[in-house]
Amino acid sequence: MKTITDRHQFILEKLKKEGKVNIIDLVEQMGVSGVTIRKDLKLLEDKSLLYRTHGGGSVHNPYATERLADEKELVNSDEKRKIAKAANDLIDQAESIMISSGTTAYEFARALHPAMQLTVITPALKVALALSNRPNIEVLQLGGLVRQNTSSVSGAHALQILKDISCNTLFMGVSGIDFDFGVSIAYLSEVALHQKMIETAQTVVILADSTKFDRRGLGRVCSLEQVQYIVTDNKISKNSIQALEDRGIKVIIA
Which tens digits make up the pLDDT trace of 188-219?
889 999 999 999 999 999 999 998 998 888 89
118-143: b or e for each residue (b if 16 or more CB lie within 10 Å)?
bbbbbbbbbbbebbeebeebebebbe
> Closest Cα partner for 136 from 168, 93, 81?
93
152-164: b or e for each residue (b if 16 or more CB lie within 10 Å)?
bbbbeebbebbee
Q: Which residue has the higher pLDDT, 130 or 20?
A: 130
Task: Supply the pTM of this predicted model.
Answer: 0.74
Q: What pLDDT band is residue 93 in, cutting at 50, 70 and 90?
A: confident
CATH number at residue 248: 3.40.50.1360
Query: Do residues 211 and 114 both lie within one domain?
Result: yes
Which backbone phi and psi does 167 adopt, to 5 degrees? -135, 145
pLDDT value at position 42? 87
227-252: b or e for each residue (b if 16 or more CB lie within 10 Å)?
bbbbbbbeebeeebeebbeeeebebe
Q: What pLDDT band is residue 75 in, cutting at 50, 70 and 90?
A: low
Neighbour count for residue 12 (Cβ, 10 Å): 16
Say if 63 falls within a structural domain: no
The answer on pLDDT for 69 being more than 60 is no
**Residue 188 domain boundaries:** 69-253
Say if 248 falls within a structural domain: yes
Please tell me the total count of domains within the chain.
2
Looking at this protein, which amino acid is placed at residue 172? M
Query: Do residues 54 and 107 both lie within one domain?
Result: no
